[in-house]
Amino acid sequence: VHSDALLELLHDIDRPNCKLGFDAWSPALREENLFEAARKMAPYTAITTNADYIRLPRYNYQPEVINYQRQQPDMVRAVKFGTGFIDYSAFFRGLKEGGFNGIATYEMCSPIRGGGSLENLNDYASEYLTWMKTHLI
């Protein structure tokens, strides 16, 4: 759902206790302007859940032309926070400018580069905390 459509839905619900969990991942995949989307959604957002990804282009071999054809959408793969394609600096600037006063969390809900060992999971979580401390605190 585009951020503008989400805001329309929220206005239709029209309940003061209904707030957003607004994440950068979805608008980034749709190539929305993250700063503007976050600024617009900030007053209605209670929580943002963060993770970073790289885009991996996909292709399908076409034997009749002995070539590959680009497929959409790209595959995405979870990577350490701050190393992917999502511009979290712009996203958090937008949230701050828009008046966000909620919670930011980190998630690892899809396969991550390096696997699911406790050591790798801790490394990813530590990287998120370091990024947040150096960019936001």
pLDDT at position 64, please? Answer: 97
- For residue 137, pLDDT over 90 is answered with no
The total domain count for the chain is 1
Backbone dihedral region for residue 115 (phi beyond 0: left; psi -120 to 50: alpha; all else: beta): left
pTM equals 0.92
- Nearest CA among 132, 56, 13 for reference residue 124: 132
pLDDT at position 117, please? Answer: 96
Summarised one tens digit per residue, pLDDT across range 35-53 is 999 999 999 999 999 999 9
Domain that includes residue 86, residue range: 3-135
CATH number for the domain that contains residue 28: 3.20.20.150
Number of Cβ atoms within 10 Å of the Cβ of 71: 11
